[in-house]
Amino acid sequence: MSPARAAAWHALLRVRSGGGRFDDSLAAFPELEGLSDRDRALANELVVGTVKRRGSLDAVLGAFTKAPLADTDGEVLEALRLAAFQLVFLDRVPAYAVVDDAVAMVARKGKRTRGFVNAVLRKVAEDGREAFATLSDGNGARAWAARQSCPVWLVKLLRRELGDEAAERFLDAADAAPERCLRVNTLKADVPAARTALAAAGFTTTGVPGLPAALVYDGPSLERSAPFREGLVTPQSQGSQVAGVVAVAGAGPGARILDLCAAPGTKTAQLAAAAPQARITAVDDDELRLGAMRHNLDRLGAHGVDLVNGDVLDLPVAFDDAFDAVLLDAPCSGLGTLASRADLRWRRREADVARLAQLQRRLIRRAARCVRPGGVLTYAVCTLPHAETLGVADTLLAAGGWQADDLGAAWPGMAHPAAGGCLLVLPPAHGASAFFVARLRRVSAAGG
């Protein structure tokens, strides 16, 4: 059996069981340790592709099986999906090798199961691509779901929120390999010095218009490189960097900045680099994530940040009216991150949007009380639905005493189509992750 395919299958079983953290590098998966660089790259591609394309693969497999796929043994189903991904979406692997390896994966399940897997995959090898073309043809929600490998409820939501053209572009980007973006840490290096160090480590880089510290890069694992270890650079999407730039704009020496729901500290470090003379307080309720955040800030040389382990909804009274700028990067459905979080589309449920929006409205009201009169509150989420974006910002605006800054004037290419003063950073035009950003200014003593 191919080492890469064997490792990919075992990693898929780990994803299925929820026993491993899934990210696009699969850095936390022990199944990939010990592989050669070539096999590791292939295994990574197979796992990410199989998970992202699960909806498409199940549609194709379902066309060649009599019993519902939901009744199939988990180990067998993941072997079928892994093989079907290679047969339908890849060209460089011989079909016989893919089928033989899938049969070997389920060998201990018995002769009948081996025969079932062999028969189904030989049909997929012969007619799978034609079946996929048929199943994904049309404008109905189910055809979209098969074509874009997405739950039907999410297809309907995105089409309703974005319109068909933008929704299709977004989902095309979600199914592609995500753009790799980093931020140069100006606490330790300027952009030319960082690019020189990255080039020496085997990376190619390209600047990003409007984001001077951002670089799109290609090359080996960033986290294993010397520029990363030395704190010269850190991974951060374009949308995330836009949120940080908006939050810190105008913060002069001595400004007090509050970063809420701050772990793992990506934006906290950005704020510290952009406003080195500001006084920054970062709050998160997860002690373990705060520990990782301390390590990250130390690597980046972002010293002097006051870390607080606490619940945003239970902040001390001393925080009220105390900060010039507050950043609330609230917990959200994360639907803007489908490209980099391959399994998220299958873990989320439609009810999550309303549940999280309710929490976000409570969080923004508490965050608003921390802003001094004349100060600003930046609300950012890496998602798209109205309920979690404009609906939350409108909660505060409707209370009185607040007005929305016109961010669209400064970032016209990212102006929200339904509310141009807010930003909607959308793939593929602006990176791999979607972000909503609103900056609300306290104009009276009424607070939130």
Spatial separation of the C-alpha atoms in residues 291 and 282, rounded to whole Å = 12
CA separation, residue 436 to residues 250, 312, 400 (Å): 20, 20, 22
Q: Going by C-beta distance under 8 Å and a sequence separation of 6 or more, which residues neighbour residue 208?
A: 181, 214, 215, 216, 238, 431
Distance from CA of residue 13 to its chain's centroid? 22
Q: Are 215 and 228 in contact (CB under 8 A)?
A: no
Helix, strand and coil content of the chain, in percent to the nearest 5, comes to 50, 15, 30
Angle at 319 between CA 316 and CA 325, to 5 degrees: 145
3-state secondary structure of 249: coil
Active site residue 181: no
| Choice among 150, 332, 382, 422 that is catalytic | 382
Which DSSP string do the residues of 104-147 spell out, in sequence order? HHTGGG-HHHHHHHHHHHHHHHHHHHHHHHHHT-SSSHHHHHHH
3-state secondary structure of 269: helix
258, β-bridge pairs: 281, 326
Distance from CA of residue 185 to its chain's centroid? 21
Show which residues are catalytic.
382
